[in-house]
């Protein structure tokens, strides 16, 4: 085969291969499309207590992506996490993953305290803590959106790990305060001050699903846990 003809054939095959992968995958896509667009995961696993779900982790430098697939291998949830603060003088990157539709723009601080976003979850473990707010308005139908902060360890380098008011956060979530009521609550001022000075580093987007027990719903499974990350030697 002449050299020019071989080169043309290779180029055509490459083009066809690229054409087979979608420009970006969205929630609801089959796992085959996700694999074709995003490539192999860094890690994939299932949880014995949550039968039928499969989890995947990917990494791009300090950006981490966690995906949740259902029993039919459909993408149900995506979580994007920035686990290191940007270098001094560099702008904060958006919480987006190349080739994935769900994502959030770069935030220097949390959105204005309105009824559009409300505190949803606060948790603390041996090696991490997590703060999440849920979008009550806007966004695509039949989806849940969450914005928040996660620190996996002191070594993560994320500035939100400093001076987080744990007790206040727990009280705010347990009382269900949000909007004007939260803004006017004197006891919540330490949390509001942290919220104003701290950029979010976690964004979750989830297809709405019926409530499930034992934390086996997609919104719970897509939250980052320190056990999701590769263990350091």
C-alpha distances (whole Å) from 140 to each of 112, 133, 145 are 20, 17, 9
What is the sign of the dihedral through the CA atoms of 141, 27, 217 and 166?
negative
Cα-Cα-Cα-Cα torsion 83, 85, 87, 88, nearest 10 degrees, comes to: 180
Closest CA to 70 of 228, 231, 230, 212: 212
Q: In what order do the strands lie in the sheet with 117-124?
A: 43-46, 54-60, 63-69, 75-82, 202-207, 143-151, 129-135, 117-124
Q: What is the pLDDT along the chain (233 residues), one digit of tens a residue?
A: 444 344 434 343 344 344 456 799 999 999 999 999 999 999 999 988 888 899 999 999 889 999 999 989 999 999 999 887 767 777 777 899 999 999 998 877 788 877 678 899 888 776 778 899 999 876 677 899 999 988 776 555 444 456 788 899 999 999 999 889 999 999 999 999 988 888 899 999 999 876 666 678 999 999 998 888 876 54
Closest CA to 25 of 39, 16, 37, 41: 37
Residue owning tokens 């969205």:
26
String of b and e for 163-179 (b: at least 16 CB within 10 Å)? ebbeebbebbbeeebbe
* DSSP character at residue 194: H
Let me know how long the chain is. Answer: 233
């Amino acid at each position: 085969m002449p050299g020019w003809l071989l080169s043309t054939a290779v180029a055509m095959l490459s083009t066809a291969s690229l054409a087979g992968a979608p420009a970006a995958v969205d929630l609801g896509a089959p796992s085959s499309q996700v694999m074709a667009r995003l490539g192999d995961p860094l890690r994939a696993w299932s949880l014995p207590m949550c039968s039928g779900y499969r989890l995947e982790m990917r990494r791009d430098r300090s950006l981490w992506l966690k995906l949740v697939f259902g029993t039919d291998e459909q993408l149900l949830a995506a979580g994007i996490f920035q686990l290191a603060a940007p270098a001094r003088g560099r702008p904060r990157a958006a919480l987006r993953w190349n080739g994935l539709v769900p994502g959030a723009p770069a935030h220097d601080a949390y959105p204005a305290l309105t009824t559009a976003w409300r505190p949803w979850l606060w948790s603390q473990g041996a090696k991490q803590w997590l703060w999440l707010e849920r979008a009550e308005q806007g966004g695509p139908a039949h989806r849940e959106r969450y914005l928040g902060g996660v620190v996996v360890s002191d070594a993560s380098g994320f500035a939100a790990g400093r001076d987080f008011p744990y007790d206040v956060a727990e009280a705010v979530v347990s009382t269900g305060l949000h909007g004007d009521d939260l803004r006017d609550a004197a006891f919540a001022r330490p949390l509001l001050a942290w919220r104003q000075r701290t950029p979010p580093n976690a964004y979750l987007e989830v297809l709405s699903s019926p409530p499930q027990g034992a934390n086996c719903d997609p919104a719970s499974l897509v939250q980052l846990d320190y056990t999701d990350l590769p263990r350091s030697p």
